[in-house]
Amino acid sequence: MLLLPTSPMRQSLFRWMPFSSFSTVNVKGGPYNFVDGHKTDSMDSNGFTNVLNPATSKRLAKIAVSGVSDVDMAVKSSKKAYDSWSMLSGFERGKLVSQLGHKILKNLEALAHLEVENNGKPIWEARLDIQSCADCFLYFGGIASTISGKHIQLPNSSFGLVKRESLGVVGGIGAWNYPLQTCSWKVAPALACGNTMVYKPSELTPLTALALAELATEAGIPRGVFNIVQGSGETGKHLCCHPDVAKISFTGSVQTGKNILKLAADDLKRVTLELGGKNPLIIYDDCDLTNAVKGALLANFLSQGQVCSNGSRVFVQRSIVDRFTDEFVKATTQLAIGDPLDNKTQVGATVSKTHAEKVLAYIKQGVGEAPVQLCGGERVHMPKPFQNGYFISPCILTNCHDEMTAVREEIFGPVATILPFDTEEEVIHRANQTPYGLSAGIFTNDLRKAHRTSNRLQSGTIWVNNFNVTPVELPFGGFKQSGIGVECSTEAIQCYTQLKSTYIEMNDIDCPLYNTQ
C-alpha cells in the first residue's frame, strides 16, 4: 500500500528531501499508552515487549503489554468523548481532522525517520507513506461536511428522513508493515464520521501511532477522541470483546482476521477487515516491457516485500518470458541494499529476526520443490552498525508451477515467482485459483484486453500498467478471504456510519384498530 509520486519532480522531492530539525514528535521515552489527551503508563501490564530497530536489532523502547483495565480506561474515555464529538457538525469535525493532516506535514521528516527506525523500510518510502497519511486526513477532513442523509417525499405531505449517523467507539488494530498508514486509514474516516477511536498498533511498530495521537491533541482534537493502547494480540482481544466498542477495524493476517470476526460475532460488532493476499501480476506479450519490469519491481520489492497487495505470482506470456525474466533479474540484482536512512538505499531491513527466518524458510522450501533460484533469497550480512540486522536480497524463482507452496501461500517477503502462460483464458483461470482476492495487476497495450481481464479477475483492486498505487480517492479492500469492507474514498464513510430512518406523519392517523363506539 503505497501512494507513489505522480511526477518525477515529486519523486525527487521525497527521495532527496533534506532533514528538518523542526518537530514536536517525542515518543521514544514513554509512557506509551495515550488516553484522555496525554501519555500514560499501563495500570495492569501483562509483561513487556522490546521494540527493536530492524536494521540494527538495538532496542528502541520497552513497552508494557496493556491489560483489561488499560483497555477499559481507554474505551471509557472515548465513550465519554463521543457524546460531544458526535454532536459537532461535519464541518467543525472536518476542520480539526484537516488540521491533523497539516500537523503531519509539518512533522513529516521526523515521522518518516521514526517509521524507518521502527520498521526498517528505506527513508524515501517512509516519506511517501507519511505524505499519504497527511493526504488521508486532509481528504476526510475535506469531505466530513458532505456526509448527509436524504429527504424522501411520501403521500399526503408526509415525508421520511434518512440520516447517516456515527457508530460510537471504534476499535482499531493495525499492522507493522505500514504502521502510520494503516492507523491513518482507520482514524481519519472514523473521526470524520463522528466516531471516537481506541487504537492498538502492532507490538513490533508502536511508535508512530503514539506520535499521531500527540499531534491530534496539538491539532485541537478533544481529549479522548483518539486513544492508544499498546500491547500484544491479547490486548487486541480485550478491545474486540469490550461491550462498549461498536466496531473493529483490523489490518493484518487472514487467520487473525478470522479470529477477530469470531470475537466480534458475540455481540454483533461491525467489522472492517483488510487482510492478506497472494496476488497475480499478469504480463501480456503486447505490453511495454520496460514498464512491465518496473511494475514487477513495485509489485514485489517495496518495503522488503512486506506488502499485502504484492503481485508475487508473476504470470508472463510465454513468447516474452525469457526477455522479461532477463530484464527483471538484471533490475533486481541492481537494487541497493543497506542503511534504511541512506537516501540511496532501495531495500531496507526485514522487520524482525523471526519474520526474516520465516521468509528464508519459505525460499528454502520453494527451492526444494524444483524451481530455479535466479537471484537473491539470502541473508545479506552488513557492516557495523547493521551486522545484527536482518537484510534479505530480493529473490526471483522461475520454473515454478501453481501448486508450489511459494506460489500458493503468502510469504510476505521479497520473493517473486515467475509463471509462464499461453492464453488469456488460461491466465485468468489460473489467477483466480486462490482463496484470496485483494489485488491484481495487468500489463498490456490492448485496452480491450485490459478491460476483459479486469472484469473477470476476482480482486478488490486492479492496476492496469502500474502496481501498488493507492490514492486515497479510491476504495481499497479485498474479495473472498482478503477482507470485508473497504478503506479510503467516500465508500469508507459507509463503513463508519449507520442509517436511521425517521417517518414524519403530517396527517391524522388512519387506524382500523381504533373504535370509539
Q: Which residues are catalytic?
A: 274
What is the C-alpha separation between 157 and 160, in angstroms, rounded? 10
- CB 116, CB 126: distance < 8 Å: yes
What is the C-alpha separation between 392 and 304, in angstroms, rounded? 8
Q: Which residues make Cβ contacts (< 8 Å) with residue 170, sequence separation at least 6? A: 186, 190, 195, 196, 197, 198, 245, 246, 247, 248, 249, 496
Residues 207-225 as b/e (b if ≥16 CB within 10 A, e otherwise) read bbbbbbbbbbbebebbbbb
CA atoms within 13 A on the CB side of 289: 13
What is the C-alpha separation between 479 and 437, in angstroms, rounded? 5
Which residue's entry shows cell 421520511?
A: 160
By C-alpha distance, which of 117, 17, 129, 177 is closest to 340?
Answer: 117
Give all strands (DSSP E) within 237-340, no chain letters: 245-251, 270-274, 280-283, 313-317
What is the C-alpha separation between 105 and 306, in angstroms, rounded? 25
* Residue 160 bridge partners (DSSP): 152, 503
Give all strands (DSSP E) within 20-107, no chain letters: 33-35, 38-40, 48-52, 59-64
Q: Is 49 exposed, middle or buried (0-12, 13-18, 19+ CB in 10 A)?
A: middle
Ordered DSSP codes for 395-458: EEEES--TTSHHHHS---SSEEEEEEE--HHHHHHHHT-SSEESEEEEE-S-HHHHHHHHHH--
Which residue's entry shows cell 482478503?
A: 482
What three-state secondary structure class fits 89? coil
User: What is the distance between the terminal CA atoms of the chain, rounded to a whole angstrom?
Assistant: 71
What is the C-alpha separation between 371 and 369, in angstroms, rounded? 6
By C-alpha distance, which of 399, 397, 250, 377 is closest to 304?
Answer: 377
- CB 356, CB 369: distance < 8 Å: no
